[in-house]
Amino acid sequence: MNASAECRAGVFSVLTPPGRGGIAVVRCFGPAAPDALAAAFRPAKSEILNLKSEIGDVTLRPRAASGLPDVGRLAYGHFTDTDGRTLDEIILYRAAADAFEVNCHGGPAAVEAVCRRLAALGLERVGPDRLLEFEGAALLERDARRLLASARTPLAARILLDQLNGALARALVAIAADLEAGRTADADRAMATLLARWHSCGRFLAEAPRVALAGRPNAGKSTLLNRLLGADRVLTSAAPGTTRDVVEADAALEGAPVVLVDTAGLHEAREGVERESVVRARREAAAAPLVVYLLDAAEGATDADRAALAVLGPRALAVWNKSDLTRFPEPAAEAAGHVPRLGTSAPALRVSALRGDGVDALGRLILARLGWKQPQPGSAVPFTPAQAAALDAARAALARSDPSTHSGSPRAGSRGGANQARTHCAEARKALEPLLEAPTRCERRPATK
């Protein structure tokens, strides 16, 4: 059952992350929320009265009997236990008749005290996503808010905000209208555009792709990771074998979120920790959709490099590092096969991880290889695998139609084809149904509780 249909009582959720902080926000929602908050909240009347006597004849609006603020208003006061003792000083915001935000102090103890009291007053503690469900937010809104809460780059947040503001929802409504009117070609084209944006952008927002750094020890993998991050995140050293564990770091390449994975390198290691670190490196390289393979330009490519690149195949992006040290590779060296050509005719890029030369170009090349394309502001972008799957299913339904109806409206004189097209349009519309879900806000009670 839809959560909003069963919102008889009340729920609350801590919207701020756990840990130290100045302020935490606990959102409460449901028909039982006003009573619960009226029981726990004591507005700071005395402070306000003192203020009144100090500054003369200021008339204060009388508060509602419960002490709860009106909708859209804030009230400062105390959050109290059953005996009226203060648990914390809070600012209470009333977002709607039955929706409140308790802004309490951010330390774990203060938040726990507030939560315990709300639970004792009969409100159920839920996660932020469930809270949104109770509040009747549509699936697209819930998904956008969930991903926005963990967006890794400002650009990712901006694209998700566009979707939260309805870019994708509007595009889907237009597609549904096309399907209802039998405009299969228009609907199909619009869905193909959305799916292209999923592949070139949305999937990066759903889960940042992993880019593994590989190469022999000392090729400069850790130095490159630090350079791409713009921070001294991992230890680098002239001593081979400095990196043992797999280190991952969230990075923004041209604003696109990716996870960079530094490894020990892909070399033969006979025993102990080193052997285990190479096993882990191989595992990462095997799983990543793209592996930046660093070749040491000062040393040239070795048989080990060539063997590793052959195993990685087209997932590898071979790059010469330490371009500052040498003019290698000469064009002749490339021609002699020192520069591996892995299914592309482009020669390996040259960078200096130490000095930064070529590193921006490498970032762009990584994005191009991953298929990233930045959408125009305000564009509709599907951003969850479920959305992409629904669009795929809808297109598959249309593809089953008689191709003669694909050029637009069903042709006159082809009644069978027209009926068939209508059926397939209805199937396509059904596949999109979960994404078209309208918000079902719970009925608000009057604010004058």
Ligand X SMILES: Nc1nc2c(ncn2[C@@H]2O[C@H](COP(=O)(O)OP(=O)(O)O)[C@@H](O)[C@H]2O)c(=O)[nH]1
Taken in order 285, 287, 292, 293, is the CA torsion positive or negative? positive
Q: Smaller CB distance to ligand X: residue 184 or 263?
A: 263
Residue found under tokens 């009117």: 181
- State how far the alpha carbon of 139 is from the alpha carbons of 187, 213, 256, 280, 443, in Å: 21, 37, 24, 38, 19
Q: Which stretch binds Mg ion (CB under 5 A): 34-42, 79-87, 217-225, 303-311?
A: 217-225
Q: Which among ligand X, Mg ion, none contacts residue 237 (Cβ within 5 to 8 A by kind)?
A: ligand X
Neighbours of 242 (CB within 10 A): 15
Give the full edge-to-edge strand order of the sheet including 316-321. Answer: 247-253, 256-262, 210-215, 290-296, 316-321, 349-350
Is 352 near ligand X (CB under 6 A)?
Answer: yes
Is 401 near ligand X (CB under 6 A)?
Answer: no
Q: What are phi and psi of 94, to 5 degrees?
A: -105, 105
Q: Smaller CB distance to ligand X: residue 13 or 277?
A: 277
Minimal distance, residue 325 CB to ligand X, in Å = 5
Helices (H) and strands (E) in the chain, counts: 16, 13
Q: Which stretch binds ligand X (CB under 6 A): 53-61, 83-91, 141-149, 234-242?
A: 234-242
Is 384 near ligand X (CB under 6 A)?
Answer: no
Query: Rule CB under 5 A: which of 226-265 touch Mg ion?
Result: 243
One of 163, 222, 226, 277 touching Mg ion (CB under 5 A): 222
Q: Which among ligand X, Mg ion, none contacts residue 218 (Cβ within 5 to 8 A by kind)?
A: ligand X
Minimal distance, residue 236 CB to Mg ion, in Å = 6
Q: What is the number of the residue whose Cβ is closest to ligand X?
A: 220
Minimal distance, residue 214 CB to ligand X, in Å = 9
| Pick from 171, 188, 193: nearest CA to 425 | 188
Neighbours of 345 (CB within 10 A): 5
Per the CB < 8 A criterion, the answer to whether 382 and 202 are in contact is yes
E strands along 6-134, which residues? 11-14, 23-29, 41-43, 74-80, 86-96, 99-105, 124-125
Chain-centroid distance, C-alpha 259:
13
One of 80, 193, 200, 242 touching ligand X (CB under 6 A): 242
Q: Which among Mg ion, ligand X, none contacts residue 324 (Cβ within 5 to 8 A by kind)?
A: ligand X
Is 236 near ligand X (CB under 6 A)?
Answer: yes
**Rounded CA separation 323/73 (Å):** 62
Minimal distance, residue 244 CB to Mg ion, in Å = 9
Is 361 near ligand X (CB under 6 A)?
Answer: no
Q: Smaller CB distance to ligand X: residue 153 or 222?
A: 222
Is 202 near ligand X (CB under 6 A)?
Answer: no
Is 353 near ligand X (CB under 6 A)?
Answer: yes
Q: Smaller CB distance to ligand X: residue 69 or 215?
A: 215
**Rounded CA separation 97/31 (Å):** 9
Minimal distance, residue 136 CB to ligand X, in Å = 51
Minimal distance, residue 81 CB to ligand X, in Å = 56
Is 238 near ligand X (CB under 6 A)?
Answer: yes
Q: Which stretch binds ligand X (CB under 6 A): 99-107, 166-174, 232-240, 431-439?
A: 232-240
Q: What are phi and psi of 241, to 5 degrees?
A: 85, 25
* Biggest CA-to-CA distance, the chain: 92
Q: Smaller CB distance to ligand X: residue 98 or 284?
A: 284
Minimal distance, residue 220 CB to Mg ion, in Å = 8
Q: Smaller CB distance to ligand X: residue 241 or 439?
A: 241
Q: What is the dihedral of CA 123, 124, 130, 133, to 10 degrees?
A: -40
| Pick from 422, 415, 382, 380: nearest CA to 398 | 422
One of 155, 205, 219, 228 touching ligand X (CB under 6 A): 219
Per the CB < 8 A criterion, the answer to whether 43 and 116 are in contact is no
Q: Smaller CB distance to ligand X: residue 177 or 361?
A: 361
Q: Which stretch binds ligand X (CB under 6 A): 105-113, 118-126, 164-172, 348-356?
A: 348-356
Per the CB < 8 A criterion, the answer to whether 306 and 342 are in contact is no
Minimal distance, residue 236 CB to ligand X, in Å = 3
Residues found near ligand X in the complex (CB under 6 A): 215, 217-223, 236-238, 242-243, 265, 321-322, 324-325, 352-354
Residues found near Mg ion in the complex (CB under 5 A): 221-222, 243
